[in-house]
């Protein structure tokens, strides 16, 4: 009987209260909306992601990451907090002075609403063609009451002051096209009507209706509610903002409840235009919204994500090298195991779906495969990732691997027989079986039997009756096999019955051509080819046994298959 863990008296749900900042929105419209196009994407890997690393990136790592973001297709990239550290300032200058920013890419930087920090920020951006200056201050009730100890009017004035400073400082740099962005930090924990009030006040300063480009960013700085509540907050905000049509609404969700992607998706349905996030979700605490996941979610719905993840393994490698963070093997779309099925029923369904697709390519070219939301090859992953074998696997998985890798198309009755062999081996080893091991198990079980050897034989056909005549040698004796039947196999079986005295008849038979190199011979090192594979199931003295034979000749493969099955019974 297992011992229970001692209860922690501090684990007390009564310390917490239900979420208190949901707006009243009885006529919400977002549940009836669908996402039909990609949002404006903004990567914050080099700022929000970088500040959450144990060891922040150096300039060379940032340059490598920046190039990756460009290659993927990002047009807006938050590169840092240039007023916060010298390395951030120097990286900004490096991008501008070395002309590393494509003309269609806009740099974004973050700054607090404080004058000397804003001065330093504009100094860092001098010479940029187009830049987003992102200013913020926290508006949530907990920050107002416990951190700043200021009332709503005082907090709003901080936002107004920051917006005014941005507008005034930008006039000193007329050669740059400036975009102003404001975030009511902790929007998700702010009364939504108050967030509207603060953002309206900021807009009065910037006057986007007169042509100034403005982004209002609504962060779930701490994810504190279910995604539907966040969507209500976004829809309420969009409805009540005075100059909604003149601004871009951006979302920046975090993953404290594990729902950052869902919150951004629903927020997009609720009226947002733009999404901020990071690749693989790196960020403070549980991380930022994972742009790769959200983009690939759109991809699975037939929507162009406007970002290129066709070589996702290379993306993951660079991100991991720069962030020095591992990727979970179950991470959506990119984890080592996300396209892998160990379950027997899953493997069988995948195999049958893929087989069906291959037979109906001309009439059905849309991806629809059980347990695989996308084709792994579309993002540079191989089919070897799809099916892996352990003790939980069934007949379909082993059959899939033998078919895809080695050209053996096992009939169902052979699949059942082989599955028992594979499961026994996996249980003995207590681990996953490698692809090469699976072929070895298959070969040892069916193709390497040395109980019987077929010597020279002749097959003749007179008047529709086929006669087999030859010798079959076992370790103990040599059988003279002479038999008649309506075909080579039936004549051979008739001869075996007469020679051995055993009751033998064929219960199942299948064959197919194979055109792949089967294996490397362990003794000679030579690769051997087989043109045909024959699968035979025999009833021997009332018991069922399966055998397989391969050879350049279909008839020889058939006879070898019969001996392979007979060897199981001997």
> Which parts are annotated binding residues for Mg(2+)?
48, 252, 254, 288
3-state secondary structure of 301: coil
Which residue in this structure is represented by tokens 């930008």?
Answer: 170
Q: How far is CA 261 from CA 45, 163, 234, 396, 529, in A?
A: 16, 30, 15, 34, 50
Tell me the three state secondary structure of residue 465: strand
Q: Where are the alpha helices (DSSP H) in 219-335?
A: 227-240, 260-269, 291-300, 312-323
Residue 111 half-sphere exposure, CB side, CA atoms within 13 Å?
A: 27
3-class SS of residue 224: coil
What is the distance between the alpha carbons of residues 217 and 199, in angstroms, rounded to a whole number?
10
**CA–CA separation, 568 vs 427, rounded Å?**
22
Task: Give the DSSP per-residue string, 156-203.
Answer: HHHHHHHHHHHHHHHTT-TTSEEEEEEEEETGGGS-HHHHHHHHHHHH
**For residue 51, which phi and psi values (nearest 5 degrees)?**
-70, -15
Query: Length of the chain, please?
Result: 570
Closest CA to 293 of 233, 338, 343, 324: 338
Distance CA 199, CA 376 (A): 44
Whole-number Å distance between alpha carbons of 99 and 264 = 33
- Asked if 497 contacts 513 with a C-beta cutoff of 8 angstroms, the reply is no
Say what angle helices 227-240 and 192-206 make with each other, to 10 degrees.
40
Distance CA 4, CA 1 (A): 9
Q: Which residue has the tokens 């917006």?
A: 163
CA distance 467 to 446: 27
* Cβ atoms of 471 and 455 closer than 8 Å: yes
Distance CA 279, CA 299 (A): 16
DSSP 341-378: B-SHHHHHHHHHHHHHHHHTTTT--S--BTTBSS-GGG
Q: Which amino acids are annotated as binding site, given as ranges?
A: 48, 252, 254, 288
Kindly report the number of other CB atoms within 10 A of residue 78's CB atom: 26
Compute and round to an integer the Cα radius of gyration of the chain: 34
Nearest to 327 by CA among 280, 268, 363: 280
- The 10 Å CB-count burial string (b at 16+, else e) for 286-296 is ebbbbbbbbbb
């Amino acid at each position: 009987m297992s011992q229970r863990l001692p209860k922690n008296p501090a684990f007390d749900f009564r310390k917490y209260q239900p979420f208190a900042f949901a707006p009243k929105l009885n006529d919400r419209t977002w549940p009836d909306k669908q996402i039909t196009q990609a949002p404006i994407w903004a990567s914050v890997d080099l700022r929000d992601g970088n500040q959450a690393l144990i060891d922040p990136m150096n300039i060379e790592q940032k340059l490598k990451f920046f190039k990756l973001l460009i290659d993927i297709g990002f047009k807006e990239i938050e590169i840092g907090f240039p007023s916060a550290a010298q390395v951030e300032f120097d990286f900004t200058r490096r991008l501008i002075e070395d002309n590393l920013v494509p003309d269609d890419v806009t740099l974004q930087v973050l700054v607090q609403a404080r004058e000397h920090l804003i001065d330093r920020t504009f100094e860092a951006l001098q010479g940029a063609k187009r830049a987003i200056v992102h200013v913020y201050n926290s508006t949530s009730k907990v920050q107002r009451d416990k951190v700043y100890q200021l009332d709503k009017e005082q907090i709003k004035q901080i936002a107004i002051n920051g917006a005014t400073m941005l507008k005034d400082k930008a006039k000193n740099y007329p050669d740059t096209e400036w975009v102003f962005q404001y975030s009511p930090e902790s929007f998700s924990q702010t009364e939504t009507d108050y967030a509207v009030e603060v953002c309206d006040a900021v807009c009065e300063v910037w006057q986007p209706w007169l042509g100034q480009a403005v982004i209002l960013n609504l962060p779930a700085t701490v994810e504190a509610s279910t995604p539907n509540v966040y969507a209500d907050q976004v829809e309420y905000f969009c409805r009540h903002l005075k100059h909604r049509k003149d601004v871009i609404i951006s979302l920046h969700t975090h993953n404290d409840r594990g729902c950052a992607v869902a919150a951004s998706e629903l927020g997009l349905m609720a009226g947002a235009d733009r999404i901020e996030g990071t690749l693989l979700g790196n960020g403070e605490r549980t991380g930022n919204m994972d742009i790769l996941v959200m983009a690939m979610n759109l991809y699975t719905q037939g929507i162009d994500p406007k970002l290129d993840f066709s070589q996702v393994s290379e993306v993951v490698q660079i991100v991991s090298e720069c962030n020095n963070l591992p990727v979970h093997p179950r991470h959506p779309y990119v984890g080592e195991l996300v396209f892998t099925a160990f379950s027997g029923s899953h493997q069988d369904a995948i195999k049958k779906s893929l087989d069906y697709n291959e037979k109906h390519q001309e009439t059905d070219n849309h991806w629809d495969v059980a347990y695989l939301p996308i084709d792994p090859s579309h993002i540079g992953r191989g089919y070897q990732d799809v099916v892996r074998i352990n003790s939980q696997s069934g007949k379909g998985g082993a059959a899939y691997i033998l078919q895809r890798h080695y050209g053996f198309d096992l009939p169902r009755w052979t699949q059942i027989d082989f599955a028992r062999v594979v499961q026994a081996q996996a249980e003995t080893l207590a681990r996953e079986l490698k692809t090469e091991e699976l072929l070895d198990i298959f070969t040892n079980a069916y193709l390497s039997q040395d109980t019987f050897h077929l010597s020279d034989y002749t097959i003749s056909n007179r008047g529709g009756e086929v006669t087999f005549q030859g010798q079959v040698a076992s370790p103990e004796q040599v059988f003279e096999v002479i038999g008649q039947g309506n075909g080579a196999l039936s004549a051979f079986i008739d001869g075996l019955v007469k020679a051995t005295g055993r009751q033998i008849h064929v219960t199942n038979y299948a064959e197919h051509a194979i055109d792949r190199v089967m294996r490397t011979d362990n003794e000679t090192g030579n690769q051997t080819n087989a043109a045909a594979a024959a699968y035979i199931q025999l009833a021997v003295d009332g018991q069922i046994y399966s055998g397989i034979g391969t050879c350049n000749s279909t008839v020889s493969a058939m006879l070898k298959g019969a001996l392979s099955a007979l060897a199981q019974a001997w």
